[in-house]
Amino acid sequence: MWARITVAAVWLPFGIVFKVFRALPRHERIVARILGERVAPALTRLIGLGEAAIGVWMLVGVWLPLCALRQTILVVIMNAIELRRARDLLPAPIPMLLGNTILLALAWYAALGR
C-alpha cells in the first residue's frame, strides 16, 4: 500500500497543482514548445487531469500492472520528447530521469509485489 500511496502522491500534485492550477508555468511552456502556443493552456490542463487520474488509479488499486505499464509508456514518451524538444526548459534533466526511474520502479513494485 505504501508504494501505491507514494506513486499517487507524485501524480496527483503534478497533475492537479502544477498543470491544472498552473502553479508551475514551466509545464505549460514545455507543452507550448512541443504542441504550440495556442493549444498549450488547454492541453496542459488535460495532461494534468490525465496525470491525476493515474494517481487515483494507483490509490484504487485495480489492474495495477496495466496502470504501471501505462505510466511507463507515458513517462518514457514524455521524457524523450521533453529532452529532445524542450531540454532548455528543464531545470534538472538528469535528476528528472532518476526521479522518474524511481517512480516507475515503485509503480511496478506496487503492481507486482502482491
Q: How far is CA 43 from the centre of its chain?
A: 14
Which pLDDT does position 58 carry in this prediction? Answer: 97
Q: What is the mean pLDDT of residues 52-60?
A: 97
pLDDT at 22: 94
Looking at this protein, which amino acid is placed at residue 46? Answer: L
Range of the structural domain that residue 9 is part of: 2-112
Name the average pLDDT for the chain. Answer: 96
Place of cell 487531469: 49
pLDDT of residue 70: 97
Four-residue CA torsion sign, 46, 62, 74, 17: positive
Span 50-63, average pLDDT: 97
Summarize the confidence of residues 48-72 as an average pLDDT. Answer: 97
* Residue pLDDT, tens place only, 62-90: 999 999 999 999 999 999 999 999 999 99
pTM of the prediction? 0.91
Q: Does residue 114 have a pLDDT over 80?
A: no
Residue type, 102: I
- Number of structural domains (the chain) is 1
- The tens digit of pLDDT for each residue in 23-46 reads 999 999 999 999 999 999 999 999
Write down the pLDDT at residue 84: 96
